[in-house]
Amino acid sequence: MKVLRAKSAGFCWGVERAINLAREEAKAGRKAYADGPLIHNNQMMDALRGEGIREVGDYQSKSKIEVEEQDSEDSVVVVRAHGISPERRQYLKSLDMNFKDATCPDVGIIAGKVRSHAQKGYEVVIFGDPNHPEVIGLLGYAGERGHVVQSKEDLDALPEFKGEVAMVSQSTMFSHEFKELAGCLAKKYPDLMVFDTVCGATKERQSDLQWMVEEGAEVMVVIGGKHSANTKKLAKLAATKGCPTFHIETVDELDEETLKNFEVVGVTAGASTPDFIIDTVCEKLESL
């Protein structure tokens, strides 16, 4: 079987940066606590726990941090790549622990645009998942001027804005969907300020899917956590390319009997998928 591997498959630079920052703290002998799962991949989280990196808090970075007093000595709390709200930042800095910010710089740029425009009096529309930690963090910078939308129906349900309006996107959303919704909103507010904040890594993954189809991929295998938002979106997009699509976490989930019926397979992976899992899957597919 011929395997086409997307060049963008695996860690994006923001996730890799967050992992490296946490590892540096652990190697220095400090107890490293991630505010929620540092990465949305069970296998990688298991590996990080083995390196002394612990997970506290919750997925949405909302719950209190529970750390035994003796464990808080010479410890550090690490902010994930998703970023956090100003209120959460203030809370984490109030703890009797060191503070390390591993927010992806791309997310930091979005937060800056949200904050500056909200402060100028703009209503800020965020295209994204209202339950995703990145969006929860961004809303914190908008104050009462933040509004989250995922669909045309959400746009129609927005209140009537009387002042200026700006629109940004969660970094891992589909570019074409963002452009479509921004176009709809611009019809109502011609002076709409639109900031295309879908990150480069996400756009590369979307482009690589099209490249694999053009190179003859007959079936797609998308690797990543079943709870990983960007991996689920990638699998959804792959399915629109007209190819059967399989979303798996590990090589053990490969449907070998079905895949044997194809000659060319495209392989991609979410931003939280480590190379060692992708390598194993590609090796197995090549052996079929």
* First CA to last CA distance, the chain: 6
From residue 121, give the alpha-carbon distance in Å to each of 114, 142, 156, 173, 177.
Answer: 11, 10, 21, 26, 26
CA torsion, ordered 18, 44, 222, 205, to nearest 10 deg? 10
What's the pTM? 0.92
Rounded-to-integer distance, Cα 65 and Cα 56, Å: 6
CATH for 13-103, options being 1.10.10.60, 1.10.3330.10, 3.40.50.1000, 3.40.50.11270: 3.40.50.11270
Instruction: From the candidates 134, 144, 214, 283, give the one annotated as an active-site residue.
Output: 134
Fold of 2-10+200-287: Cobalt-precorrin-4 Transmethylase; domain 1 (3.40.1010)
Fold of 106-194: Cobalt-precorrin-4 Transmethylase; domain 1 (3.40.1010)
Phi and psi at 124, nearest 5°, equal -110, 120
Q: Assess whether 134 carries a catalytic annotation.
A: yes
pLDDT tens for the 288 residues of the chain, in order: 999 999 999 999 999 999 999 999 999 999 999 999 998 888 899 999 999 999 998 999 999 998 876 666 789 999 999 999 999 999 999 998 999 999 999 999 999 999 999 999 999 999 999 999 999 999 999 999 999 999 999 999 999 999 999 999 999 999 999 999 999 999 999 999 999 999 999 999 999 999 999 999 999 999 999 888 889 999 999 999 999 999 999 999 999 999 999 999 999 999 999 999 999 999 999 999
Domain locations along the chain: 2-10+200-287, 13-103, 106-194
Work out the angle at residue 241's Cα, subtended by the Cα atoms of residues 172 and 213, and round it to the nearest 5 degrees.
100
The reply to whether 2-10+200-287 and 13-103 are identical in fold is: no
